[in-house]
Chain A
């Protein structure tokens, strides 16, 4: 069955042209051009290049440009995925260029994990997920090129062969570049014939990475490198306290600093916009923000550990795996292990560039979640989704953080507020302060020994489920939905005669996996197979002992809107907004356009300087917690 609509051209028609990020890979030895938003795809060599489908563009000189739906973050998809296409297209690898596809449904892949097609770079699924899609797209384009040649020559297509970008029949031959325009008129086959793996020429080899020359000569465009005419550059003061929100700020001194254009307050961040990054960075240091600590007040490492221990020692858990019976006669070794919250610490700090106009929203970002970024752009900008365009740059490290949407949302909101292109660059400190950390875990591991090895292994792990925010309701509490917590313990590659794995979802919902405002239910109602008690109501989610963890951000105001605007038109008054009065005498911004004053940041001069911004330094995790508990034996 064909899984790909090989006539997909919707994405190309929808693009409106002209705004591809031209950081694609050099083909045929051509040097990578620096980023220029006016550059269209590909060179014109004797006529315009032709799109055979959403993935494949062939220029008259034979250069094949392949659009990659996955983001290149160092894992090599700008080599591996073009290989899949080029294999079936049977083109010359030396003439292949790759570039980033826009966020569009046409560039979805299959998912070995999820039952839907997605455009998301993650889960080690790019090659597996695009395997059928790109092979069929390549094979379909090849069939169209062959059909065009056969029609031209008046021969049967079955008598034509292809080899490295050339169609041959008898003593006649034509290059793909020569045939492309006519091939585009051919009807794509419904069920393209795929190569037998025995005939693979590229797949199974390890050609040089196509993305490395620009990464070695400094011309690769990462998110932080995007530059647009008239662009403001901003930096971010994130709320360092999960669960809290913006209360007030004192910013006249910052506004008076050179180059500062605007300062915007959002629910979870303050954004300082200036003519250049350093000016924004300097001004940000002069802004005094007071954060309402909200539910997050008092959360510290001790509270996190207490919540984990409570979950681990509690009765409820998801029974993930149970096979065999422990003999109960052997020596038992067991230990409790802990791991702390860890920041993704991708080397390129978070950055995103957005340009929102009345009828169009463009986002340039190193994102793993292109489709979600497009949805975010539409939601925040108010521009219809089909007029929102995500241009994926190289990622200076992906990890989990670049799948999040907070930094995309913020750039779009800032651009919308000021009506200009905005690039936001988070400082390292800001990135750490608002990380979406790998969750802390606590686990009891137990092994019963036999004469020859381990007779029975059991593990019970407590932690947060990073999928809480994405999987509604009980799904996050299923064996499948809680997989990030127990993956590796469950379905271990080791063979144990008896295995039991349980996952206890912690009620501690500090910044795991994501960290933006969470809509996830915090009810700790696990589908427990190991407990016979009825699920308790959410009272269990907060301990009354004072060691409770922050649960979830209150969804009282969308943090995509500057607070003063949200108060004026969208949101009911909130405590934070009501304290947030407009600047009475802001320094005159050097830049002025028709932007509304309502969109500007609220400020107050009466609020004393806050130390909240500087309070993001994480408390040192107790060193002793790293060591397993002493071995115990019965």
Chain B
């Protein structure tokens, strides 16, 4: 038996330990918002949050998840700022890749609250066969604008000052 925590809920599942997380969540937990695209971790349609990271779960053995909490697109509920940005920019076409795109975008924005085009291009490598990349970029920026900026960094220790973000001392 495998224990899996999905959105705070604990599931005891009779699955082989090497079953990819994606299929455990889809077939056994019953949440089908995360999609199967390539089965090789290449397209990102299966992206979920595992602990603090966005992970491609079609190649992630469920036994490797451990007790980390798993979050899927369903947990966002539709009102998440990134989802609202997706609607505002009318991003999806066929829509199949978009749950994975959204899950990837959320983690990108956690790392980088003001992503540039280049940051989005390198930080969002999910594939979209319809070619919605331009709108994805706009939606990520719209979501970034809607998110509160992170708090000002604490006054740095002298030896760390050289690594502090730019703009220090200008205000």
Q: Are B130 and A74 in contact (CB under 8 A)?
A: yes
**A73-B94 in contact (CB<8A):** yes
Other-chain residue from B16, B43, B78, B130 in contact with A217 (beta carbon distance below 8 A): B78
Flag the segment in B30-38, B112-120, B146-154 that touches A: B30-38
* Residues of chain A whose beta carbon lies under 8 Å from any beta carbon of chain B: 31, 73-76, 208-209, 211-222, 224-225, 227, 233, 258, 276-279, 281-282, 345-349, 394-399, 425, 427-429
Known: A349-B37, A397-B96. A258 touches B16 (CB 8 A): yes
> How far in angstroms is the closest Cβ of chain A from B37?
5
List B contacts of A218 (CB < 8 A): 31-34, 72-74, 76, 99
Whether A398 contacts B94 by the Cβ 8 Å rule is yes
Inter-subunit contact A213/B38 (CB<8 Å): no
Complex CA gap A277/B36 in Å reads 11
A212 x B27 contact (CB < 8 A):
no
Q: Decide yes or no whether B109 CB sits under 8 A from chain A.
A: no
Are the CB atoms of B95 and A212 closer together than 8 Å? yes
| Chain A CB within 8 A of B87 CB | yes
| Residue of B16, B36, B43, B73 with most chain A CB atoms under a 10 A cut-off | B36
Contact yes or no, A74 B27, CB < 8 A = no
Once the chains bind, are A347 and B37 in contact (CB under 8 Å)? yes
Contacts of B28 in A (CB 8 A): 276
Q: Is B128 located at the chain interface by the 8 A CB criterion?
A: yes
> Closest residue of chain A to B34, judged by CB?
A218
Q: When the two chains form the complex, which single residue of B23, B32, B91 contacts A276, counting CB atoms closer than 8 Å? A: B23
A-B contact list, 15 entries, CB within 8 Å:
A76-B93, A209-B92, A212-B95, A213-B78, A216-B92, A217-B83, A218-B32, A218-B33, A218-B73, A278-B16, A278-B20, A347-B96, A396-B94, A399-B129, A428-B40
Complex partner residue of B127 from A215, A347, A427, CB under 8 angstroms = A347
B-side contacts of A397, CB under 8 Å: 94, 96, 129-130
**Distance A394 CA – B99 CA, assembled complex (angstroms):** 15
| Residues of chain A contacted by B98 (CB below 8 angstroms) | 215-216
Task: Collect the chain B residues with CB atoms within 8 Å of residue A282's CB.
Answer: 16
B102 adjacent to chain A (CB < 8 Å): yes
Interface pair B95/A233, CB less than 8 Å apart: no
Chain B 35-61 per-residue mask, 1 if CB under 8 angstroms from chain A, else 0? 111111001010000000000000000
CB contacts (< 8 Å) of A345 on chain B: these are 129
Residues 79-92 of B, flagged 1 when their CB comes within 8 A of A and 0 if not, give 00001001100111
Q: How far is the CB of A206 from chain B (nearest CB, A)?
A: 9
B169 CB–A CB distance under 8 Å: no
Q: Which residues of chain B are near A220, meaning CB under 8 Å? A: 95
Q: A74-B95, A278-B23, A395-B94 are in contact. Are A219 and B130 (CB under 8 A)?
A: no
| Contact partner, B36, options A276, A399, A425, A429, Cβ 8 Å | A425
How many angstroms from the CA of A219 to the CA of B78 in the assembled complex? Answer: 10
Known: A217-B78, A345-B129, A395-B94. A208 touches B87 (CB 8 A): yes
B32 and A227 contact, CB distance less than 8 A: yes
The 8 tightest CB contacts between A and B, nearest first, are A218-B33, A215-B95, A396-B96, A74-B93, A74-B94, A218-B73, A217-B78, A225-B32
- B77 within 8 Å of A (CB atoms): yes
CB distance from A115 to the nearest CB of B (A): 30
Q: Which residues of B contact A221 (CB under 8 A)?
A: 32
Q: How far is the CA of A346 from the CA of B87 in the complex (A)?
A: 23
Q: Which residue of A lies closest to B139 (CB)?
A: A216
* CB-defined contacts of A278 to chain B, threshold 8 Å: 15-16, 19-20, 23, 27
**Alpha-carbon gap, A76 to B130, bound state (A):** 12
Could you tell me if A346 and B129 are in contact, using CB atoms closer than 8 angstroms? yes
Q: In the complex, what's the smallest C-beta–C-beta distance from A29 to chain B, in angstroms? A: 11
CB under 8 Å from chain A, chain B span 4-24: 15-16, 19-20, 23
Q: State in angstroms the CA–CA spacing of A428 and B128 once bound together.
A: 15
